[in-house]
Amino acid sequence: MAGRRGALIVLEGVDRAGKTTQGRRLVAALCAAGHRAELLRFPERSTEIGKLLSSYLAKKTELEDHSVHLLFSANRWEQVPLIKAKLSQGVTLVVDRYAFSGVAFTSAKELQLVDAATRGEFGHERYENGTFQERALLCFQQLMSDKTLNWKVVDASKSIEDVHEEIRALSEDVILCAAQRPLGELWK
Ligand code: 2DT
Ligand code: MG
């Protein structure tokens, strides 16, 4: 169909849920099915702001919490012209984390929970520990109570193949729906 817009498909979840793996597979499957689809990720570490965030996440620099929150936000804003252009050209964007991670991870810093034993096996970046991830998960669950945002919950404990198939089928539906609706304001 000429002139139809692409869908914005955001993959959110705690670390190691498989977002990056699934994002890549989804884009490959959508392209193979004849869609135009591309992958984006946040933070986008290649920009100047992204480099500051990358260094902060690697614990090489310290930044004040409010300012780091705004840098994550700015890192999305700097991609908005590209996002809008791609969507209106009919390209579906699969996004590995978006503003919901921004809310969940900043809120998780403020939650006063009893520290659980660390589970190990996380990476070495800031936030990569079990206690912090549990807090972020609680925040994601709160965000999902906003039904206007069209959340779909996928059980990431299934096999890569099963999770992929579920996300692919959901995405096909979303692409069809998006084509019938004008581009709204982005939640960033
Ligand atoms: P990965 O590159 O492994 O996904 O880790 N984060 C991300 C925030 O705190 N705020 C944000 O707005 C975004 C997009 C989540 C990136 C880490 O950065 C956190 C994990
Ligand atoms: Mg990570």
What ligand 1 atom has the least distance to the C-alpha of 105? 9
Q: Which residues does a 6 A CB cutoff place in the pocket of ligand 1?
A: 42-43, 57, 72, 97, 101-102, 105, 127
Task: Tell me how far the alpha carbon of residue 53 is from its chain's centroid.
Answer: 16
- The residue whose CB lies within 8 Å of the most ligand 1 atoms, and thus the one to mutate among 57, 68, 94, 95, is 57
How far apart (Å, rounded) are the C-alpha atoms in residues 20 and 113? 28
114 CA → ligand 2 middle, Å: 23
Measured CA to CA, the distance from residue 134 to residue 105 in angstroms comes to 10
pLDDT tens string for the chain (188 positions)?
557 999 999 999 989 899 999 999 999 999 999 999 999 999 999 999 999 999 999 999 999 999 999 999 999 999 999 999 999 999 999 999 999 999 999 999 987 554 444 445 678 999 999 889 999 999 999 999 988 888 999 999 999 999 999 999 999 999 999 988 888 877 76
pTM over 0.75: yes
Ligand nearest to the CA of 105: 1
Which of 130, 168, 180 has its CA nearest to residue 35?
A: 168
